[in-house]
Amino acid sequence: MNISSILNILGSLLLLVALAMILPIIVGIYYQEEDTFVFIITMGLTFISGHFLRRFKYNQAGLQYRDGFVVVTLGWLLVSIYGAFPFLLAGIFNNPIDAFFESVSGFTTTGATVIISLESLSHTILFWRSLTHWLGGMGIIVMTMAILPQLAGNMHLFKAEVPGPLHNRIKPRIQETAKTLWLIYIVLTIVEVILLWLNGLPLFDALIHSFGTVSTGGFSSTALSVRAYNSIAVEGIVTLFMLIAGTNFNLIYKAIQGHFRTVINDEEFRLYLTLIILATLLITANLFFQVYNDLLQAIRYATFQVVSIISTTGFATIDYDTWPPFSRWILLVLMFIGGSAGSTAGGIKVIRIQVLLKKGTQELYRLLHPRAVKKIKINRRVVSETVSTSILGFFFLYITVFVTVTITLTYFGIDIISSLSAVASTLGNIGPGLELVGPLNSYLPLPELAKLLLAFCMMMGRLEIYTILVFIFMDWR
């Protein structure tokens, strides 16, 4: 292990975070809020820590394959710890665990909150809270597009999709890919801000909700979330941008370049849309017949909630936890599926589900035609046995982690639905779950250990599980 280089990289990361803290300081000065000082202090602290770590020598040649896992895991952890300071210093929480939970939830773009009264927060703190989403989204883009494909067999599939970097030539290609995708990310954010602003939202609110949307995070500035504006236009815009944010960014890039046929023919995108339409239709029918008696209202609520959950954003325009079991179960299943690979969304990811479905069909076909050879293809490209097998393995790991963490949550006496939905929601980086952790509730009342465990789930989900598992089980020599 090349500890020196790892510390150096982590130092750079902290310097970037320190740099980002200029933004809440600007917001604080604009609103003339005391919390400005909180960020000046945190920024200084982060800068000094980053600078200190940067003094360790960086030696690219000495960086080993496995060091990547360490960098990614520790990087996310460290940034979340420093990101938690403002919440503590501003006195939002007395408990460091709560502050850490909120920060991890932000940087992993989960959006699960332990804050009950959002209205009592300063603009500065609200802005930082949502900025962690947005920065986290940027981090995900670099990580899933550039770093993970280097590391993980599981990501080979995505590697084939992305004009990704080759081993030992990481740096220049990372920068190139990341720059293009970051540009898309920033443009998406600006366009949404303008659209929301034009539709009557104050600029501050427009920023907050755009940060929460494009990063598929879901932090809002009001307890009522997007519902507070009671505007179909606003809901429509947010829905559209959640849908886009859950789409592979390479595909968005192709759409911008005018290759619409590529986008429309993309199998993952098609399945993503199919799942959204199917779930919306089913829930609409259920709501129309059993709850609202108003078709338009049923469609409106169903569409928003379905897109919000499958894209793993977690905004809500209604307390979907009061819906009938059918609708709630479908939402719960969508929490596992998640958005597209190469987006800021979490969950198992649509393309993995697609490979799993094709693999399942293939196994059945094999039983009937033992001698026939039928390869799995996605977008006319053959998916190798190694890749499809490792995706099956990923599915098993995902379910195993889900089951195991749920066991420990129920140990605290939390009922089964709350426990399993809390785990599904944090592991899939959505935010709200059902019952105790439903869209109108917060994670605050949970025991400290449960909160730590769920924060761990957010990290697990965000880092595609195996990154963390490898980190844990690594041969630490």
392 near a second copy (CB under 8 A): yes
416 touches a second copy (CB under 8 A): yes
Contact by Cβ (8 Å): 439, 225: yes
Return the number of the residue (366 or 374) whose C-beta is nearest a second copy. Answer: 366
Please select the residue that binds a second copy; options are 34, 176, 319, 385, rule is CB under 8 A: 385
By C-alpha distance, which of 122, 90, 87, 92 is closest to 107?
Answer: 87
Please, which residues bridge with residue 341 across strands? none
Stretch that binds a second copy, among 61-69, 73-81, 95-103, 201-209 (CB under 8 A): 61-69
Q: Which stretch binds a second copy (CB under 8 A): 21-29, 199-207, 307-315, 323-331?
A: 323-331
Q: Is 260 in the site for a second copy (CB under 8 A)?
A: no
> What does the alpha-carbon distance between residue 72 and residue 84 come to, in Å, rounded to a whole number?
18
174 part of the interface to a second copy, by CB under 8 A: no
> Looking at 2, 406, 426, 442, which residue binds a second copy (CB under 8 A)?
406
- Grouping H, G, I as helix, E, B as strand and the rest as coil, residue 377 is strand
66 belongs to the binding site for a second copy (CB under 8 A): yes
Q: Which residues pair with 185 in a beta bridge?
A: none
Q: Which is nearer to a second copy, 67 or 267 (CB)?
A: 67
Q: Answer for the pair 208, 132: CB distance below 8 angstroms, yes or no.
A: no
Could you give the 3-state DSSP secondary structure of residue 453?
helix
Contact at 8 Å (CB) between 2 and 62?
yes
Does residue 324 belong to the site contacting a second copy (CB under 8 A)?
yes
Cα dist from 452 to 29, 423, 448, whole Å: 33, 12, 6
SS3 381: strand
Q: Would you mind telling me the total number of residues written for the chain in this entry?
A: 477
22-30, 92-100, 152-160, 452-460 -> range binding a second copy (CB under 8 A): 152-160
Size of the site for a second copy (CB under 8 A): 57
Give the distance, in angstroms, between the CA of residue 266 and the centroid of all CA atoms in the same chain: 22
Q: Minimum Å distance from CB 2 to a second copy?
A: 15
Stretch touching a second copy by CB under 8 A, among 146-154, 185-193, 206-214, 374-382 = 146-154
What backbone phi and psi angles, to 5 degrees, belong to 382? Answer: -70, 135
Which residue ranges make up the site for a second copy (CB under 8 A)? 65-66, 69, 151-154, 286, 290, 324-326, 328-330, 332-333, 356, 359-360, 363-364, 366-368, 370, 385, 388-390, 392-397, 399-400, 403, 406-407, 410-411, 413-417, 419-420, 434, 466, 469-470, 473-475
